[in-house]
Structure 1
Amino acid sequence: MSLFNALELLRFFEKEGIKAWVVGGAVRDYLLGRQSVSDVDLAVSGGEKEIQRVFPGAVIVGKAQKRTAVISFNREAFDVFPLRNKPVEEDLARRDFTVNAMALDSRGHIYDPFDGFSDLRKGILRFNGNPLHRLKDDPIRALRLCRFASTHGLRIDGDSSLAVENFASHITGVSQERIGHEVARAFDGDGFLFFRFVRSHGLMAVFFPFLEKLWGQRLEAGSVYEGDCLLHSFLSLQSAQEQRRDKSVQVAALFQHLNYDFVNELFVSWSWPSASREEIVVLIKNLPLFLEPLPLDRAIAVYDSLGEDIVRKLFDLSHAFLSSSGKPTDVWRDNLLTYNRVVLRLKCIDFLPDGKELKRVLGIEEGPLVGLLKTGLRQAAAKGEIESREDVNKWLWENAPDKA
């Protein structure tokens, strides 16, 4: 979304006699060098009726005194907050952090009554006004403090940190969906640093008690990893992040020591998209297969059942697991070589029959036998036991003699 389109919208309002400003995160993001922002919020001097006079198609949402108009302008949607003839400073005063409490007018002037620009310049993140008031207004701001600091590379102000630590035990009633939103946004930036901030501010037990329970929990001796599960989860996340692995791999690294059914239910409560949710669960569920030697037949099976993209991510996840365990990665390397050799072989052969041809040649009906024969042929080909169509016929005769 373009900030300059928003500025054009401001001028459009002003031509209708309504003062307007861009407010909140869009101003901060542009100052930080982000030319395109995900969403732009506006504040206008009038009320809902005045907005609808200018934009008859505006949709009013929210409860009384907190209503917002959603309008479409130049094919982009904007949230417009009606000030109802109150000064814009009142809107800015309610915002969470000083860096989010700036307003921009149509002439490019920044209105900054709470020194947000100065804090940006110093690299400081602080609550806007009284920290305790901001937290009582909306407790999710404790988690947002951690997210903003980790995603924008800001240093948390000491008074703000202390306020969160003291307020943590009083936080209740925050919806799972809002928690999930903060976590998803955190992984768009530095997820490892986000959870470090969460734990250092005493928020782990408040928002993520299932992770806090891993603290001090040790895996049994003899397993691939022996040590504290929470520490290992953090180290695995850090490793995946440093290697620039996919976001799903990073999330799976953090949640790898939790039951995958629980993780799925958690992500449902967080309202995460089904596609990303299911991928992360598949990674956690199949991770153990990649921590032990991967025989050729299993390499073929995972290639056929999971697909190349998931298998590649499982290799990324298992590498993060092992490299963070203080264990040798020899098994990982051997597995990777075995798998890639299998894939290369299977992609190069073109003489294996498909299911339809097997049914026609053998005179059999659709059923388990077709699948077993296809799998057997692929395994034999991957091992180099089948090199031609003649070898295929011979293999079928030996393995399905009553049908060939």
Structure 2
Amino acid sequence: MTNWKPPHLPAHVFVNPRLAPAEESLAAAATGVVDEAGFARAAAEIKAWPGYQPTPLRRLPGLAHQLGVGGIAYKDEGGRFGLGAFKAVGGAYAVLRHLQDKLGGDVSVADLLAGKHRARTRDITVCTATDGNHGKSVAWGAQIFGCRAVIYIHQGVSVGREQAIAAFGAEMRRIPDNYDASVRACAADAAKNGWQVISDTTWDGYQEIPRHVMHGYGVMMGEVMDQLAPAEQISHVFIQAGVGGLPAAVAGYLWLELDALRPKIVVVEPEKAACHFESAKAGRPTPVTGKLDTLMAGLACGEVSPLAWSLLDKASFAFMTVPDDAAVFAMKVLAEGIGGDGRIVGGEAGVGGLAGLIAGCLDERARQALLLDAHANILIIGSEGATDPVLYAELVGRKPEEVLAA
């Protein structure tokens, strides 16, 4: 970016007074959310899928210099299994685990991929509500493992995202309301028809499948640990939240892996859909209502996942909100590059954490609250690429392929 002229990006920060002490174990602070065995099984299963390869961890020294921090590492999930987002390792993995549990016995990934159980799996229906990427992952998982998928979307989901999900053979149902209404509609139809909900959020009596989703996300963090330089320490992770499954998985993995040396987790949300921010201030799960009409549609959630929240309430150093303009600016920063940084395609929801970092660095009060200085070494999870190429081009001014070609 030749001219660094950021717009006014108000950042609201709440430093968490309930952050667990460094010496406290994950098991003591948040029991039954994620565990080492769950992460290990997910990694073994997912790495056996065709097309698996680690996504890159890209360094952004030019942007780090501009922001006055020590380093920025950006985990670029845009190429994950050709689906364009990290959720490929979440929803599809939960579909796999459901089918394995349903069929019983020692049902392998290889047998399901080969269609050896197709006579039974084709009569199984999975369903979910989605803002886009999770539904695509569930639809893809249903397609490759041989069952039926019904996907619920709300009025804020773009036609481009709807078509991308439908391309995997899923039946699409659009709800004329917000994300949380689509969750309720999906659950009601599943109960009536005997379908299995594959959700990344939890409720009373429904926790195991969202745990599979979160364990699937751990694959990403295992790759990050392998990609960091020897003895390199991450001081902060800025990570976007929808219902909370992604940040909870990241925080849980790092807590188990690094214990007292774990980095500061900063949960970032759109100011128009800030259920974690409001829950943090209230000290308990607190829904936000209304249209939730943020540009970051993948984060347009009004209610936290209770299970994820039980971990984030103890694991998060801070919560913050950013305006939609911050996401657009972050997308442009990645697309244009600063000081020799490579150009990256980041989608509007996928750059939420980066938007938070930029906004936090530009606001002196936020910068001090978040302990950002020249020694900070920051991990960003770039959770999606241009999953809606038309919208991406409208926001950035260039098509995704033009950015990559440059």
Relative to its length, the structure with more helix (as a share) is: 1
TM-score > 0.5, shorter chain as reference: no
TM range (shorter): under 0.3
TM-score (norm 1): 0.25
Structure showing greater Rg: 1
State the structure with bigger RCO (CA 8 A, min sep 6), 1 or 2.
2
